[in-house]
Amino acid sequence: MAEAERIIGTPDTPGATGAGPEQPDRNVASGERSDDSGSDPGPGSAPGSEPGSGLASGSESGPGKASGESGAEGASGGAGVPRGKRRVAVLFTVAVLAYALDLISKLIVVAKLEHHEPVEIIGDWLRFEAIRNAGAAFGFGEAFTIIFTVIAAAVIVVIARLARKLYSLPWAIALGLLLGGALGNLTDRIFRSPGIMEGAVVDFIAPKHFAVFNLADSAIVCGGVLIVLLSFRGLDPDGSVHKD
């Protein structure tokens, strides 16, 4: 009877004898799988490399790292690029326009108004009257003509040096007005009588109860007022904003 049961076998039942021998089989299978995973180099590994080195080498030299390095290099390279375009062209454009308008207006005034009666524009409130001013803007300081000439030349040099770090559009306009006005009056100081560096500036705009001035004086005053406003707002010529 026992010999027959051994030959025929018994039906599989839960928890029967089959449960016992299956555990070693699973252990063996899992061991084989672990051996296979440890021994197979995998498609990403180079021949002759150690087990598991394929993943590591892929993470170090794969396209992900290359793109990451290029992105980092781009970020570091872009850090040195200025925040915006320099506004030197705007500065010199405004300066040339201001200087040209002042020069043309003075040529017309000398040719048409000098030694003639004043021309009334708005009754007694505004008229054009040609006069020669040896002083500063609006007729002040006539005894210091040479000093004002040197100051005008110094202003031009300072503005030219400041243009190298100019990235603010409002500052470019303000400095352009200053530069054009300074050049306009400096031209009169150098080329008009009574002599070089002592020439009298041509003024012709005469409001009622106010000093007579010209377009160069107006450009200087407008540029100066704009610079004061920009300074109060904390805007620097390089485009940065500071708060005191």
Burial 208-244 (b: 16+ CB within 10 A, else e): eeeebbbbbbbbbbbbeebbeebeeeebebbbeeeee
Neighbours of 176 (CB within 10 A): 27
Whether the upstream peptide bond of residue 194 has omega within 30° of 0, thus cis, is: yes
83 φ/ψ angles, rounded to the nearest 5 degrees: -65, -25
Residues 6+ apart with CB under 8 A from 23: none
The residues annotated with a catalytic role in the active site are 203, 217
- What lies within 8 Å, CB to CB, of 10 at 6+ separation is 16, 17
